[in-house]
Structure 1
Amino acid sequence: MTSTRSEPGPVRTPAGELTPAQAVERAEAIAAELVGRQAETERRTYYAPDIHDRFVDAGLYRLLVPRRYGGHELGADTFARVCMAIARGCPSSGWMYLFGAAHALVVATLFDERAQRELFAGGDFVCPATVAPSGSATRVDGGWRLNGTWRYCSGSPYATHFLGHTMVQRDGAAEPTPMMFVLPRESWRLEDDWGAQLGLRGSGSHGITVVDAHVPDHLTYDGLLAQVDPTGDLPGRALHAGPEYGGGPLSFMLLELGILAVGMARGALDAYEELMRARTTSFWPIVPRTEDPDYQFRYGEAAGMIAAGEAAVLDAVRQWHELSARGPAAITRERELRLALIGREAVRLCWRAVEGQLFPTAGSSSVRSGERIERVWRDMSMLHSHAGLGTFLAGMANRELAQAHFSRSDPKE
């Protein structure tokens, strides 16, 4: 079954400049409202149209769009803090927002001026992406004819574009090779196939189906996003003053999981604090939980883990920016993997805090279906099923990091 219930509205250009502090403040204000609307968001399978409008009005879909094309170009650090704030209020909404807005960075880095001028023409840019090749492509004059369905396209209900991968047979090549492409909203339909999962039911991670869509050559990129070599020539470096438009796509893409985990865990800690203030202990002496040493210990233990995860992932984002500024030679695969693994450790710290400290001691009535801590537990459990975390960062990245390190002639770094 398909759905057309989530068509994006007309773009409205936000008035004036936006500072990093203002962006975070606006995100926090929206997130405060999202807390009480989480069940509604899950039922709908994506955040509400009025929340989407508030993101538009706040300029949050333009944070990573280059200034050259009407964006705010506020950088990865501001984007990370905005995403943490939204995920703290509602994990599903944070997931949906991040994976819709993040790929402005990819497009501004990898595609040429003609493509960027076309793709960013609307101002706001919401572009879910998948990295696993799917569907099929047939060569036609000036481009390709695409068909297929791409699943788990987080951020798709209000998307302006879609970035996907497929395999293509090129002239003279013995085997098919991967190709990345970007399609505008009118070229695909949204599937009604999301919402029955364990967690992140409101993340708008619907499938996208393409039927005989034409994608011109300038909206394609040879290769896989996860395998982009940032030490080579990237169009974004020549087009934009900001160094992040020449940064490593792989590392930032995987750091996003740590960013979301921190926001989710902070939301669980908020809920646990409310319970501590409102409830008493179950065993003698009956005292407010805020006065009980065991609850104090659990809260402090979780708060420390979450704070460490936040510090780690935000510093990794800082390192990513500095690496981008150092130029292409500095962005080696080994360095990218090291940054990505910091994101993995941030997830682990936050998960230990929620699963090991908060969830078991919140009380059975507080982990019923629809309660805030129960929802965060489900959503963070679902996060672990993401292939980037559950497959790549769980094992493959360790081996690849070691291989990259020991293949270098200079062992000092």
Structure 2
Amino acid sequence: MTTINTSIPTEAEVVARAHAMIPWLREKADAVEKARMVPVETIQAFKDAGFFKILQPKRWGGYEMNPNVLNKVLMELARGCPSSAWNVMVLGVHPFEIGLLPQRCGDELWGEDNTALVSSSYAPFGTVKCVEGGYVLNGEWLTSSGCDHAAGGAFLGGRVADKNGEMAFRSFWINAQDFEIVDDWFVVGLAGTGSKKLLVKEVFIPEYRSHVIGAYDEASHGHVDNLYKMPFFYVFYAAVSSVIIGMARGMVDLYIEHMVPRQNLNQAVGAAVQDPFIKGRLGEAYSKILGSTARVLMNTDEAWSFASQGQLVPLDIRVRHFATNQFTGGECFDAAHMVFKKTSTRGVWLNSPMQRQMRDILVGANHITQNQDNIGDLLGGCLLGNPLPAANPFGAKP
């Protein structure tokens, strides 16, 4: 297949499109939560804006941009509707993973429709059996966000022994017709993501549709174009962090709108905007969110400085980036909760967008990519000179 010529917008243009959608997404957020999935028309609007092309290879009509373009888009969209932004994050990251696979995968996925989307469920809930020419998958895979919109199938994770008998964590690209969607997504937050269960029964996946998802060396990445020199785990984890940052920014937006006209009836200071505690909590929360934002964008730009030159990101930098981004969820939850507590009774009503935003941040911060406890221990050990454990997320052998 020859490369599709595509007019590629600037970063500023793409991010401006996302920013312009915030009011529209906020109006739809309640309906999205009640429907427990993002509507087709919203996904189409995201397609029209080019959000799913940001990390898609140029060969198939994508933009092949710096991952920070997607991160900045997510930071904007999540201010309006966290669930909708979460779908953009998941469905928008997988074009990157297709770029890591042999070219025939992209031809099969986008040969007839280069807008086809792919969802995922990486946690190895189901079973994988190694057979001649590939693998056979069986079982249930939970929480596949945006799967209703994934005509291009899904990436499923599983552990299987390699040719040397060592267990490897692999990702398998499976066609949409080879799984059944089970609607079990009844949750306290991010209900609109439609993160339903996928049921798979004796499905064969050829070898070329799979890769060791954490692999990162010349053997696994030496042949790919510059964007795909970025570590996949890093790109994915940073995108999750970016959505959560956007959720926290949305909480600040709502808090300011709530507080500006408010009067404190039982305090000497009448206007809420003059209350030192209200001002203090807002200032501290905003600083936490700004710090998380700066770190994610800085880390990605530093990694991009290597990948954009055709180089792999050095191990010590990968460790620092991957680990420090995982503190985003905790920091943003703390910031959002800090201001939510100052909304008093008004914030607890189910028709208050602030309580929905708070619940969405709670669930987002619970994502495995935001596991600051375990990653803090690993990062601290590395800083103290401890060797990496045998199983590590950095694609490195200790």
> What interval of TM-score do these two structures reach, taking the shorter chain for normalisation?
0.7 to 0.9
Tell me how far apart the structure 2 counterparts of residues 330 and 314 of structure 1 sit (CA, whole Å). Answer: 16
CA drift of 1:191 comes to: 1.4
Residue 302 of structure 1 and its aligned partner are, at CA, apart by 1.8
Mapped pair 1:58 → 2:49:
yes
Q: Hey, what's the Cα distance between the residues in 2 that align with 1:86 and 1:232? A: 35
Alignment equivalent of 2:238, drawn from 245, 255, 261 = 255
| CA displacement at 1:384 relative to structure 2 | 3.1
* Structure 2 letter corresponding to 1:399: L
Q: What is the distance in 2 between the residues matched to 1:396 and 1:173? A: 28
Q: 1:140, CA displacement in angstroms?
A: 5.5
Gaps of 5+ in 2: 389-398
1:144 aligns with 2:123: no
Give per-residue Cα distances to partners, 1:334-363, cap 9 Å, x unaligned: 32221122212333332221112x111012
Secondary structure of the residue that 1:278 maps to in structure 2?
A: coil
What is the one-letter code of the residue matched to 1:384? A
In the TM superposition, residue 286 of structure 1 has moved relative to its aligned partner by 5.3
Q: Relative to 1, partners in 2 of residues 1:14 and 1:173: Cα closer, same or farther, differing over 3 Å?
A: closer
Alpha-carbon separation, structure 2, partners of 1:316 and 1:175: 32
Q: Name the aligned partner's letter for residue 260 of structure 2.
A: R
Query: Superposition pairs for residues 267-282 of structure 1, below 5 Å?
Result: 267-282=250-265
- 2:328 pairs with 1:346: yes
The 1:133–1:290 alpha-carbon spacing in structure 2 relative to 1, beyond 3 Å, is same
Please name the residue that 1:335 is paired with: 317
Shift of 1:322: 1.7
2 CA distance for matches of 1:335 and 1:14? 34
CA contact (8 A) 1:247 1:331 kept: no
The alpha carbon displacement at 1:81 in A equals 0.5
Q: Would you say 1:367 and 2:348 are equivalent positions?
A: yes
| Matched residue count | 382
Alpha-carbon shift at residue 396 of structure 1 (Å): 4.2
Distance 1:330 1:49, change over 3 A: closer
1:202 deviates by 0.8
1:205 is aligned to 195
Match for residue 101 of structure 1?
92
- After TM superposition, the structure 1 stretch with the greater mean CA deviation from structure 2, 25-34 or 117-126, is 117-126
3-state SS of the aligned residue for 2:21? helix
Q: 1:388 to 1:345 in 2, by over 3 A?
A: closer
Secondary structure class of the residue paired with 2:260: helix
1:77 is displaced (CA, Å) by: 1.0
Picking from 368, 373, 381, the partner of 1:402 is: 381
Residue matched to 1:45: 36
CA gap 1:15/1:57 in 2 versus in 1, 3 angstroms: farther
Instruction: Give the 3-state SS of the residue equivalent to 2:121 in structure 1.
Output: coil
Q: State TM-score, norm by structure 2.
A: 0.87
Query: What residue identity is the alignment partner of 2:190?
Result: L
Partner SS for 2:358: helix
Matched, 1:231 2:217: yes
Aligned residues: percent identity?
24
Q: Counterpart in 1 of 2:156?
A: 164
**Structure 1 length-normalised TM:** 0.84
Q: Does 1:381 align with 2:362?
A: yes
- Does structure 1 conserve the Cα–Cα contact (< 8 Å) formed by 2:328 and 2:370? no
- Structure 2 residue aligned with 1:315: 298
Report the 3-state secondary structure (helix = DSSP H, G, I; strand = E; otherwise coil) of the residue aligned with 1:310: helix
Q: Deviations over 1:294-326 (max 9, x none)?
A: 322222222222222211211111122123246
1:166, 1:291 → 2: CA distance?
55
Q: Which amino acid aligns with 1:308?
A: G
* In structure 2, C-alpha distance between the alignment counterparts of 1:55 and 1:204, rounded to whole Å: 16
1:146–1:214 Cα contact (<8 Å) kept: yes
Change (3 A) 1:366 1:179: closer
RMSD (Å) for aligned C-alpha atoms: 2.6
Q: Counterpart in 2 of 1:30? A: 21
Asked if structure 2 preserves the Cα contact closer than 8 Å seen for 1:341 and 1:397, the reply is yes
For the pair 1:214 / 2:204, whether they are aligned, the reply is yes
SS at match of 2:43: helix
